[in-house]
Structure 1
Amino acid sequence: MSNLDVEIIVEDPTAPEADSPAVTDTRTVEIVISLLLVTLALTLGIDNYRTGIAWDSTGPQAGYFPFYLSVILGGASAYGLVATYLARREPSETFVTRAQLRRVLLVFVPTVLFCFGVQYLGMYVASFLLIAAFMRGVGKIAWSKSLVTAAVFTVIMFVTFDVAFDVIMPKGPLEAALGR
């Protein structure tokens, strides 16, 4: 055996090319996104209506501004939906290739996991994990640098928000164990 490390990469001959389209119909994507935004606007509008959208003696109620923002969002989304639906059907463009979708998911999935992590681990532990994972996974930076950078950033964030400005941040089991 020699001291040379040889890495053999075997590609799957049935796998699609990286630049092959993952989603080909831009029009369908626009319609689906517009429908999702209309649904979000309706949900927010109903919820803020229940909160209160009027003015009282002290000023606007809690739902006033969010309600009207949801009306604007709903109107803009409905306009986009109608405009897309009525537009002449042109030859389908590629909306996103497989390589592009992979890069988007490389950021989207850890961000969603971070949001759930904040609920169970607290803001600081989840931030530490997200930063270290991004630096190592996406940036291909050495583990030692990734962990040190994540730790320094997390400490700075803790000192800034928790100590200096006394901002209440979501806490997890680690902060509870440390008495914070």
Structure 2
Amino acid sequence: MEHGTQNSDPVVSNRTMEIVVAGLFALVALVVMADSIRVGNGWGSDGPKAGYFPFYVGLIMLVSSLATLAVNLWRHSGERTAFVEKHQLALVLQVLVPSAVFVALTAFLGIYLSAVLFIAFFMHWVGKYPLKTILPVSILVPAGLFVMFEIWFLVPLPKGPVETMFGF
């Protein structure tokens, strides 16, 4: 795939995305700096306080993002180059939407049952695998992860009604 082609349908330009990302990055930098001030960003008798280094990292982030923002607000050369085209965005959304659904389902069904559904969906929709392949893989992978995290490592992960039914 070639970036910035002129003969396909652009969804958003490079310039627009640079402005949006620089603005969001500046907001994150301000949050980092504000929290660093809250916890103390000075120098104490025993050395730097907890917010000293994060404050200056936030300051560097802010200056960098404001410079990027300024350059892109006054420069208009990136308006014609596409950041993403319709067919590229469709490919990204094919992964992003099911992944977001997986994350949302984890709160209600737990991570293991959500993983069964997620893996089965992807194997069927994207991979076009037969059901005889989908069922064992989509069940055994989360089951293996359950054994590894819950039993061997003793690391609890979000559980749903199925795990509760089995006493976990």
Superposition TM-score tier, normalisation by shorter sequence:
0.7 to 0.9
SS across alignment from 1:95: strand
1:30 is aligned, of 11, 14, 18, to: 18
Confirm whether residue 85 of structure 1 aligns to residue 73 of structure 2: yes
Q: Distance in 1 between matches of 2:109 and 2:55?
A: 32
1:97 is aligned, of 85, 92, 98, to: 85
CA deviation string 1:76-131 (max 9, x = no partner): 43332223224353561122221111000001111111111111111111111111
- CA RMSD in angstroms comes to 3.0
Q: Distance in 1 between matches of 2:70 and 2:62?
A: 12
**2:151 — aligned with what?**
163
Which segments of 5 or more consecutive residues in structure 2 lack a partner in the other structure? 1-6
Cα distance 1:151–1:90, how it changes in 2: closer, same or farther (>3 A)?
Answer: closer
Cα distance 1:115–1:68, how it changes in 2: closer, same or farther (>3 A)?
Answer: farther
**1:150 — aligned with what?**
138
Confirm whether residue 126 of structure 1 aligns to residue 111 of structure 2: no
Which segments of 5 or more consecutive residues in structure 1 lack a partner in the other structure? 1-18
Q: Is residue 53–residue 64 contact of structure 1 (8 Å, CA) maintained in 2? A: yes
Q: Is residue 15–residue 78 contact of structure 2 (8 Å, CA) maintained in 1? A: no
- Number of paired residues? 159
Confirm whether residue 177 of structure 1 aligns to residue 165 of structure 2: yes
Q: Is residue 15–residue 76 contact of structure 2 (8 Å, CA) maintained in 1? A: no
Which consecutive aligned stretches of 4+ in structure 1 deviate over 6 angstroms post-superposition? 54-57, 63-68
The two structures have a TM-score, normalised by structure 1, of 0.71
The two structures have a TM-score, normalised by structure 2, of 0.75
SS across alignment from 2:82: coil
- Percent of pairs with identical residues: 35
Q: Is residue 25–residue 62 contact of structure 2 (8 Å, CA) maintained in 1? A: yes
Q: Distance in 2 between matches of 1:65 and 1:174?
A: 45
CA deviation string 1:151-174 (max 9, x = no partner): 111011111111110012111121
Greater RCO between the two (CA within 8 Å, min separation 6)? 2
1:111 is aligned, of 99, 107, 124, to: 99
SS across alignment from 2:25: helix
CA deviation string 1:24-49 (max 9, x = no partner): 42201211122223234434554566
Q: Distance in 1 between matches of 2:54 and 2:28?
A: 12
